[in-house]
Amino acid sequence: MTDARFPRQARVRARADFDRIFRDGRRVAQPMLALHWLADGQAPRMGLAVSRKVDKRAVGRNRIKRVLRDEFRHGRATLAAGAYVFVARAAAATASGEALRAAMRSLLRRAGALPHPATGGTMPGAVSSSTASPTPPTAPCPSGE
């Protein structure tokens, strides 16, 4: 079993660190989340920015943070070294937990911090010849045509 704790050293906490990551880091975004990533050679660390503009209710903001924190700590071992800051956007307030997780994984892949899943080397939608079933012979039409 992997160690899925979220220790203090796995967090971006200081204002100066956030400022440095926002200034020097690489940024990728989508409608639900933005990711600022600074590859600095240290163990993966995460910071979150979820403002009142995203959701006026603290319960909603805390749900977003809880989902993102959980996804990060479970995938932390596979991430590239560096500091990650996720900035929630308004669409995150109405998104399901699974949609937030998927958006987070997508951003990490786009940033190059998470490896892309193996596709098996086939084109999307294509069936490989080893798994394709043989075509059954066609039966003659009963009307004799």
In this structure, what token pair is assigned to residue 87?
A: 């900035």
Give residue-wise pLDDT tens across range 22-77.
999 999 999 999 999 999 999 999 999 999 999 999 999 999 999 999 999 999 99
Percent of the chain topping pLDDT 90 = 70
Rounded CA separation 90/56 (Å) = 10
pLDDT (average), residues 108-116: 88
Residue 4 has which token pair? Answer: 């899925």
Please tell me the predicted confidence (pLDDT) of residue 124: 58
Residue 44 lies in a domain: yes
* Number of domains composing the chain: 1
Q: Can you give the CATH number for the domain in which 76 is found?
A: 3.30.230.10
Structure tokens of 61? 């903001």
141 occurs within a structural domain: no
pLDDT for the residue numbered 6: 77
Domain membership flag for residue 119: no
Domain annotation covers residue 54? yes
Structural tokens at position 95: 């998104």
Handedness of CA 81, 14, 32, 100 (dihedral sign): positive
Range of the domain at 20: 8-109
| Cβ atoms within 10 Å, residue 127 | 10
Residue 61 belongs to some domain of the structure: yes
Higher pLDDT, residue 131 or 108: 108
Q: Mean pLDDT across the stretch 108-118?
A: 84
Strands 83-88 and 45-49: parallel
Residue 68, in any domain of the structure: yes
pLDDT, residue 92, reads 97
pLDDT beyond 70 at 137: no
In a domain, residue 134? The reply is: no
- Decide if 79 is inside a domain: yes
Encoded amino acid at 130, one letter:
S
Quote the CA–CA distance of 11 and 13 in Å, as a whole number: 6
From 36-40, 61-65, 84-88, 140-144, the region with the lowest mean pLDDT:
140-144
